[in-house]
Chain A
Amino acid sequence: MRIAILHSRIRVEERLLAESFQARGIAFDLLDVRQAVFDIHEPGGLTEYDAVLERCISQTQAVAATRLFERFGIPCINTPAVIETCGDKLTTSLRLAESGVPTPRVRIALGGDSALHAVEQMGYPCVLKPATGSWGRLLARVHDRDAAEAVIEHKETLGGPQHGIFYVQEFIDKPGRDLRVFMVGDEAIAGIVRESEHWITNTARGGRAGRFDISADLAAVCRSAARAVGGGILAIDLLETRGGEVLVSEVNHTMEFRNSIQPTGVDIPGRIADFVIAAAQANAETIHA
């Protein structure tokens, strides 16, 4: 058995994953997708791999690289379809809504004037998010029409075409924290609460991570969310309302977990490695059946 770990920048997570495969005696290669050349007609050395673990920091590269492996029947975790869905907040919201997963209200507009209408319909405060992007970047909580007009004008003037998709989400008055549940397949393996004085609670933005116990009901919601986007290894971000409801806000396809191992006590990279190894074994059995 041989595993390919696709990467560009090596973060703490990729090092821990490599060490997990090494500890399990599984052969693997760290493949820097920036250095690779792929032939769309001939698999070349790709078929020596029984499974691919995608860990690229760039979503664009992640989708392209996994498509090339998938082309030759090599199971990718996650699949390019899942990466595309999770990398686009509009598509994620659509999948969640279609599947009946509780999620904040969202309005979409494709022009500046209609974006302002969408904001006014949603009411203040509300949140303008880029359809693509991560780590809590470029989120804007707008409290009034003046702020909305300024943000919309900036996005129209300074942003690329993607910023012309105005994603307007209701503001959830969460209790100074949000939740993240790590999913490996259908199993919710660990949960953290992220606390911050700032309304953006991402750990990439300074939010502090602590452990919380995942109830059976919440695990079911997360399972539904994971299935809605196509499944795999995912981090589900959740917001609690003051009324006690829990809403799925985002699903992350190449989750970071360095700050979550210690507070949860869960060997997250080990669990990921085990899942990938199982997928590789299933693939090998299919091929040799």
Chain B
Amino acid sequence: MNTQTPNPSALIVECPSCADTVTLTRRPLCGEVVRCGGCAVELEVVSIEPLRVEEAPQVQEDWGE
């Protein structure tokens, strides 16, 4: 797993819901969920290079521990 921090500008992405700028404080993993500070929607990281996010799936009935 590569944990090197890339160029900070690569950690900025546009929220697909409200178009606000979402800044990640560290390099994410694919599948991680971040929250948009603009609209509070949960976003799932679907690609690292280039960084892309999508609205995260809603909680399903079979989710949990």
List residues of A whose CB falls within 8 A of some B CB.
7-11, 14-15, 18, 22, 28, 30, 32, 57-60, 87, 132-135, 137, 160, 162, 235, 252-256
Contact = CB atoms under 8 A, between A and B. Distances in A.
Nearest to A59: B62
Contacts of B60: 58
A10 B62 contact: no
A30 B31 CA distance: 10
A138 to B, nearest CB: 9
Name the residue in A9, A28, A60, A135 with the highest tally of chain B Cβ atoms < 10 Å from its Cβ.
A9
Interface in B12-57: 28-33, 44-45, 56-57
A251 B57 CA distance: 26
Per DSSP, chain B at the interface is loop
9 contacts: A7-B31, A9-B33, A9-B57, A10-B33, A22-B3, A32-B31, A59-B63, A59-B64, A255-B65
Contact of A15 (B32, B57, B63, B64): B32
Interface residues of B, number: 18
Nearest to A30: B29
Contacts, number: 63
Given A10-B31, A11-B33, A15-B29, 11 more contacts: A9-B56, A14-B29, A18-B1, A22-B3, A30-B1, A57-B64, A58-B62, A133-B62, A133-B64, A134-B65, A255-B65
A10 B45 CA distance: 9
B49 to A, nearest CB: 16
A27 B57 CA distance: 29
Interface of B: 1, 3, 28-33, 44-45, 56-57, 60-65
A134 B64 contact: yes
A9 B3 CA distance: 19
Contacts of A9: 31-33, 44, 56-57
